[in-house]
Structure 1
């Protein structure tokens, strides 16, 4: 009997610029490639998760063409496993094109979709639940999503309504998805949270390549046609030409709006692991290691130092200089060689506005 593990692949989606984590996250080295916690980069940690599922030849990376060298350097993969996007076009075409390429390699492929900027622990629970997702996807025509019970009414996530068990996997807590609602308003999100029957979509999709491509053809025909063109050209002399042509006119839409909201064969596995989308400095502080005063200090260079007096609950990342804190609380202080950011933790969403202002003023050297 064929095992799903014989056909398992991992696709890591590695795009995005991470402007809310400026000035550490820049256009040339976005957040997934930098050391945010004094440890490995988020991308390096994602590679570890992928390698816990499949050997290197089964790992593919969908990334911006500008990031290929960094992916090769940190990921230590073959260039043939990198699917380079000529320009950002959101996630639907990126995931569909990658699925089409993998399906050309193995028509029975089961694809686990990971994201390069997620923080997940412990690894053992993630591996177990992802393998279950792959088993479910391989056994039937299902699009499997690992979902997380919401801890507050977040309006930036999709919500999955799932209660009824899938009969074939009753004992494994696999649930049928009745409804998928992407990014609801606050009132709706509050209602979803109170019901206890909804889960956050955190983007950890697993599906058979053929099932997903069939869903694309049904729900997003234009995306499907573009993906099939790339599949036909992949590995031929026309590969780059076709890739550039398709990408220049590809519809810019997320996988959640294009497929997930419309699919009628979506099932859910509740996550038991810890998960975080490291989207801003507040999140970095919340998930990072803190001292007895609630301060999180991250040393980035060899010379930097920090001294604190009567201060607490601050996030400080420092590289070359001495940073001194006196009587301050709940600040984010990011000291890089060319930029110093100081803001209140509750105001970190405003960092993106600073980046937009710098763009308008043509300050490219700081982006």
Structure 2
């Protein structure tokens, strides 16, 4: 079994101290015996593959919708630097406990703990981490082993990192854990919106091109000017010189962050044997457009829950990509009124009612036990 060693810790400590996110995750991504988490995290840093782009977009959307916050690229960079500190602390803990295998491949509960703390440190709800709501639902119904199974067998499987497949996989799994606390339909909708937005993203490794394919900004070093480039239906983009002072300040700062990160990505530790950045198996450039399907939800056998979630995710993603709010609402309404939708929503309500019934039974049992104790003294239990 592969294990982390002291040399690994020394290298990781060096990168964490320098705030070098790229080389921290790159080291783990290429470490023999390591899982795919390092490569996933590297994709988030560089926004270079669909899994990373979805994670970034999901967090940004969640911050805006739930915390009314819009973090700058520098603030997200600081968040990421804190995250590697949280991650390293957990790996060092396992090393101190003589568990080097766990130190190399952290259990998902620790990966979640690191994200929870990093999000809380910037004042954001930790549910901004893409899989958190799903993992919590899995724990409620199947314990920690269920959450670990999702992490190992679904999220760390690089074969699902392509366009919409990254979010689609979690949407399929979410169906199984729909309950009173976890609205799998709402979660699928959030994933679809994030995937649609992420499909228009550009990698954040070019300091002179910032934004997405539909609207981005380019920097000309000679004139030191920014130009906005907006895509149009006829294929001829509209270009306009940026003059707004606030926008210019944000672009200049984002560019500075990328230049700093690019410089750090060249500063390898002497004991780090890797001199190239690991490449994602599926990059944004390779993404293309999401698959489409004409299958209607009402015509799918209710037993094929993963197929239903797959179709729902596709339709919501396509509507979101076209910025068709009416279509998204139509899909939502159609699904909620279909046999499958009613069954899905009902299962959540029934699960919630079952939890309430179990809680009521436990409270009644506790009341009876207290009554017995008050009459005959303490009751011993095995």
* Shared fold (TM-score, shorter chain, > 0.5): no
Q: Between Structure 1 and Structure 2, which shows a larger proportion of helix residues?
A: 2
Give the structure with the larger strand fraction: 1
Query: TM-score, with normalisation over the residues of structure 1?
Result: 0.25
Larger Rg: 2
